[in-house]
Chains A and B, each alone.
Chain A
Amino acid sequence: MYRLIIFFVFIPLVSATAADGNAILKERCSSCHDLNGPAAQTVKELWNRKAPDLFYAGSKYKKEWLESWLQKPTRIRPAGYHYFQHIKPGKKRDVVDKSTLKPHLTLTSNEAKKVTDVLMAKEAKENLVKQGDFKGGSISLSFGEMVFDKFNGCTGCHEIEPNFGGSSGPEVYTAAQRLQEDYMVSFIRNPQAWNPKSIMPNKHTAEANIQKLVQYMIALSKENWNE
C-alpha cells in the first residue's frame, strides 16, 4: 500500500518539479545559455553563445550559491561573457561599454529552487572532473597572491578584489563561493577540455601550484567584499 502511495503521490510530485524547472530553463534561459552541449568548437560558434554553457552546471556550481544567485544575481564578469563584444576604445586604454551590458534575469525563490534542481543534475563526463581532485589545505592571502599574480600572471585577466586586476575574465574573489573546488582544479588544469575555444589559456601549471591557486581563491572568498 505504501509503495502505491509513493508511486502515485511522490513520484508525480518530483517529476512535476523537474518538468517545471525544465520548462523555465527552456523558456527563459535557453536563448542565452546552451543546456545540452557540446561546447563551441569554433571561434564563431563561441561568439554566438551569449552566456556560459550550463550543460555541465551540476559539476561546476555549488548548489547553495546557484539557488541564491538566481534570486539576486550580481555581475561576475566585469566585461560581460565575451569581453570583446562589450568594450570600446577609451582615452588611455580600452574600457567596458556599460551600455551593452544587460542585467541577468531574476527568479523567485520557488523558481530558483526548481531550476537549480534541474541544473545540478546536469553533470559533466566522468573523465573531466574527479571527486577529490582538490586535496584540501590552506594558504595565506599574501603567499596566495604571489602564486596567483607574480608566478602565474592570472591577475592579468581576473580581478582579485573589486576593481583590481584584469576585467576580461570572471572575477575570482568570489569564485570559491560559486564553484566546486574539484571543478576549479580540473578547469585550471585543462580549460580546453571543458571549452575548446575558451579565452582561458592552458598554462600547464604544475599540479602543486594548481592546488595553491584553488586554496588562494578559497581564502579570498572568505573575505567580506561587501564592506
Chain B
Amino acid sequence: MNKRFVLLLLIFVFPSAWAGTPEENYKTYCWQCHGMQGDGMGLNVRDMSVQPRDHTSKKAMGGRSDEDLFNVIKDGGLALDKSVLMPPWADTLSDKEIHELVNYLVKLCKCR
C-alpha cells in the first residue's frame, strides 16, 4: 500500500481521525467570545455591541431547539436573524463535530 492510498483511506473511511472532541472544539473556537466558563464573558466581549449568549443559563439556552443550535453554529448568527458577530463555522467543523457541540451545549446549560 502506498502512502497516498493510506491517506485516502483515512480521509474517506475514518473521517473522525481529523475531528476534534467537543471539548477541544469549544475551547479552540468558542471560548474567545462565550468564555472559558461558557458564561458569555469571553476575552473579546469588551467592545461588542451584542453580548454573546450565556451557555450556562437554562433561561438563555432553553428556548433553542437542537436544530436552531446546529444551524446557528454551522451558518452563523445572520442565518437565524441574530448577530453578525456569531460567525459560521461550516468550513471549520464537520456536521458531526457540530452535532457533538450541540450535545455539549445542552449539557452545559443543564437544559436536559
Contacts and interface: CB of A to CB of B under 8 A. Distances in A.
A134 interface: no
Interface in A81-103: 82-84, 87-89, 92-96
B65 interface: no
Contacts of B42: 93-94
Nearest to A167: B43
Given A87-B43, A152-B84, A197-B28, A94 B35 contact: yes
A192 B91 contact: yes
Interface string B64-96: 000000000000100000011111111110000
B92 A93 contact: no
Interface in A144-186: 150-153, 155-157, 164-168
Contact of A153 (B20, B84, B90): B84
B92 A202 contact: yes
B9 interface: no
A83 B36 contact: no
A89 B43 CA distance: 9
B18 A41 contact: yes
A86 B34 CA distance: 16
A84 B31 contact: yes
B112 interface: no
A94 B83 contact: no
A202 B91 contact: yes
Contacts, number: 99
Contacts of B24: 43-44
A204 interface: yes
Contacts of A150: 84
Interface residues of A, number: 40
Given A84-B28, A168-B32, A199-B32, A157 B44 contact: yes
A89 B36 contact: yes
B83 A153 contact: yes
A164 B27 CA distance: 23
Nearest to A87: B43
Interface string A186-217: 00001110000111011110000000000000
Given A44-B20, A94-B42, A166-B47, A87 B84 contact: no
B46 interface: yes
A97 to B, nearest CB: 10
B47 A155 contact: yes
B41 A84 contact: no
A54 interface: no
A57 interface: no
Nearest to B21: A43
9 contacts: A42-B17, A42-B20, A93-B43, A153-B83, A155-B47, A157-B44, A192-B92, A199-B29, A201-B89
